[in-house]
Amino acid sequence: MVKTPKGQSPRGGQKMWGGRFLSKPSDIMQAINVSISFDKRMAAQDVSGSKAHSDMLAAQGIITDTDNAAIQVGLDDILAEIKDGTFPYRDEFEDIHLNIEARLTELIGETAGRLHTGRSRNDQVATDFRLWVRDHVDEFDGALSGLQRALLGQAAQTADMLMPGFTHLQVAQPVTFGHHMLAYVEMFARDRARFSDCRGRLNESPLGAAALAGTPYRVNRHMTSDALGFSRPMANSLDAVSARDFAMEALSCASICATHLSRLAEEIVLWTSVQFGFVALSDKFTTGSSIMPQKRNPDAAELVRAKTGRITGAMVALTMVMKGLPLAYSKDMQEDKAPVFEAFDALALALAAMAGMVADMQPNADNMAKAAGDAYSTATDLADWLVRELGLPFRQAHHATGAIVALAESKGKALHELSLEDMQKTLPQIHGGIYDVLSPQKSVASRTSYGGTAPDNVREQVKLWQKRL
Ligand code: ARG
């Protein structure tokens, strides 16, 4: 029996780790130490890890089958409480691991104390967190494919729909709206691939590394690794409890994905403005102004754009937490979870909002077609024609085209509105065939190089993606 000094509870005021402590931590110590308010999000993962660990302890003869059976029943009851919202999360037990162990003790008594044989909270938290990140990375794959399908739905309707393509946000060459949608399908495909690579690397089990050095118990780390769906146990116990690059990598993937969302969001903000008028969003994805009755604001797009700040901020925050930490575990690492939870929540919402907006978008074909012919957007077609038909070197063709654009500008005309005589003033060899390439339709139809914007290419890509998704 532990001797209890008068007026004090044994074990430092009921702390699980309190054997050598005589009095309770200060309130401020408690306040900075406690993590249950956020790490309770890993409750289900913690139960899974404990169930696998307990089964393994029994299989290895480290605990009895009877004790394991009691632990399994208790953990199942706890999982049911977590799911139906009746689990008592308590600050006095610090974190999710100790909360669950304390609850298990209430449910099954002293046997609960056998569960923590051959493990530490250090390998336990690393395991839980990997499981949590893995689960959510899998959800992003589903959300991203939903967004790709929404983009593809637009692309399938708009393979021929003209729009101006921009560089420097200045009208450059005509493209099609379908082609533009497919550009994002490609980007989000790479985001999925990045998350999938990240998943492959993170899917190793730290469980059984114990505090940092491994354990003298004859644990079977392959067994727990398999039970939890990991591909293998991590090979180095120090690395197993110290590594958080899996979380940094997941945040990097999230950050890049958010950047793509932000670019599309910015385009939606521009396109829905009166000045562009390229697409309209319905009442579902816009809001009004409290003072200006005529307004329809693309708030969802703006908020998706803004979430990128939070998500990339989270990546930087975790990187700063990890920078300079000596091996192995340091309590700094308790601060690894909040950035990941925050960023992942933001990304999940941003992906859902973007998929909703993309499906909701009504492209305005007339406005885009008109803008596609603005600003001499087919000047490159003219220059290419001079090279192809008249054999001019491209540089010379570029120069002659510049002169023709200047003439059109001085006359206030579009290129295809200039007369043949006008163009022949610059280059007498030009003939009527030139009018075949000067319209935006002809321009996009001619862009048949692999990956180009020609409507036939776009339709082909739509088909390929429809098969893949
Ligand atoms: N709540 C802790 C965390 O999230 C669990 C690990 C505690 N380990 C320790 N040695 N104090 O990091």
Q: Give distance in angstroms: CA of 315 to centre of ligand 1.
A: 21
DSSP 38: H
Alpha helices in 60-176 (DSSP H): 65-84, 96-108, 121-157
Choose the residue to mutate in 100, 122, 124, 331 for probing ligand 1, maximizing ligand atoms within 8 Å of C-beta: 331
Q: Give distance in angstroms: CA of 128 to centre of ligand 1.
A: 11
Known catalytic residue at 289: yes
Going 343 to 344 to 350 to 354, the CA torsion angle's sign is positive
What does the alpha-carbon distance between residue 270 and residue 268 come to, in Å, rounded to a whole number? 5
Task: Tell me the per-residue pLDDT of 164-174, one tens digit each, with 9 for 90 and over.
Answer: 999 999 999 99
What does the alpha-carbon distance between residue 19 and residue 30 come to, in Å, rounded to a whole number? 17
* Average pLDDT for the chain: 94
Known catalytic residue at 168: yes
Closest atom of ligand 1 relative to the 96 alpha carbon: 1
Q: What are residue 167's DSSP bridge partners?
A: 170
Q: Give distance in angstroms: CA of 122 to centre of ligand 1.
A: 6
Choosing from 289, 330, 419, 431, which is the catalytic residue?
A: 289
**CA-proximal residue: ligand 1, atom 10 (nearest):** 122
Q: What does residue 162 show for φ and ψ, rounded to 5 degrees?
A: -70, 145
DSSP 287: B
Task: Tell me the per-residue pLDDT of 81-121, one tens digit each, with 9 for 90 and over.
Answer: 999 999 999 999 999 999 999 999 999 999 999 999 999 99
Q: Specify the length of the chain in residues.
A: 469
In this prediction the pTM is 0.92
pLDDT score of 7 more than 70? no
Confidence (pLDDT) at 13: 53
Q: Give distance in angstroms: CA of 247 to centre of ligand 1.
A: 16
Task: Tell me the per-residue pLDDT of 261-295, one tens digit each, with 9 for 90 and over.
Answer: 999 999 999 999 999 999 999 999 988 878 787 87
Choose the residue to mutate in 92, 121, 128 for probing ligand 1, maximizing ligand atoms within 8 Å of C-beta: 121
Confidence (pLDDT) at 9: 40
Task: Tell me the per-residue pLDDT of 372-421, one tens digit each, with 9 for 90 and over.
Answer: 988 888 999 999 999 999 999 999 999 999 999 999 999 999 898 999 99
Choosing from 168, 290, 410, 449, which is the catalytic residue?
A: 168
Question: By the 8 A CB rule, do 169 and 377 touch?
Answer: no
pLDDT score of 12 more than 80? no
Task: Tell me the per-residue pLDDT of 214-244, one tens digit each, with 9 for 90 and over.
Answer: 999 999 999 999 999 999 999 999 999 999 9
Q: What are residue 297's DSSP bridge partners?
A: 287
Torsion of CA 138, 143, 144, 147, to 10 degrees: 170
Residues with CB under 6 A from ligand 1: 35, 39, 95, 97, 121-122, 125, 329, 331, 333-334
- Helix, strand, coil tally for the chain in percent (to 5): 70, 5, 25
